[in-house]
Amino acid sequence: MFITFEGPEGSGKTTQIQRLTTWLQKQGYAVLATREPGGTPIGDAVRAILLDKKNTAMTSRAEVLLFSAARAQLVEEVIKPFLEKGGIVLSDRFADSTFAYQGYGRGLNRDDLRRITAFATHSVWPNMTIYLDLPVEIGLRRKSNGATKEWNRMEEETLAYHRRVRDGYLALAAQEPKRWLLLDGTQGIDHIAAQIRQRVASALAES
């Protein structure tokens, strides 16, 4: 099973992936948690380029191709092999991020993005996508106040851009309600984790 986590900046994806990983492992499942961009040595090198605040000259087309290159490496090197062994893969972002950030956020042609994404992913697609929603102002405030103080090129975009991204996510979720689980990211961590466990347990029981 392939489960992805999506959401605006600061929505709490990383925390919930850690919680779900621990729970699934206690149930006896083989679990691999990864992230985008990154998850491989090549992907991590691309991540450094993509998120470097100095790279303000990066064009939208270059951006989507770099994200897709890192994704292609992650799918081929990590995700596909683990899924083929019967494991569960949890990914902090995947291809839906491209449609939200570069499609709705940047305004790139979505048909072009579909073709690029299908090529990069080898048509590997999530069985479930968990979306943690919250107002972008709250998420960015959480990120800026975080312990790591990480603040990257994407987070430096305007509020208008981040709002377009959030609207894009909600539009994507509305198109595939069976795949997406929408949760209020302003709820308590434990409450969100319980809702995720319930949905995942149900899906595993049906598989």
SS3 labels along 146-178: CCCCCCCCCCCCCHHHHHHHHHHHHHHHHHCCC
What whole-number distance in Å separates Cα of residue 14 and Cα of residue 139? 13
Summarize the confidence of residues 114-136 as an average pLDDT. 96
What's the order of all strands across the beta sheet hosting 128-133?
A: 31-35, 88-92, 2-6, 128-133, 180-184
Cβ atoms of 4 and 50 closer than 8 Å: no
Among 88-92, 133-137, 159-163, the range with the most confident prediction by mean pLDDT is: 88-92
Fold (topology level) of 2-206: Rossmann fold (3.40.50)
Per-residue pLDDT tens over the stretch 47-58: 999 999 899 999
d(CA 62, CA 59): 5
Distance (Å, whole) CA 88 – CA 51 = 28
**What would the pLDDT profile of 152-178 be if each residue is shown by its tens digit?**
777 778 889 999 999 999 999 999 999
Domain ranges of the chain: 2-206
- What lies within 8 Å, CB to CB, of 45 at 6+ separation is none
Dump pLDDT digits (tens) for 3-40: 999 998 888 999 999 999 999 999 999 999 999 999 99
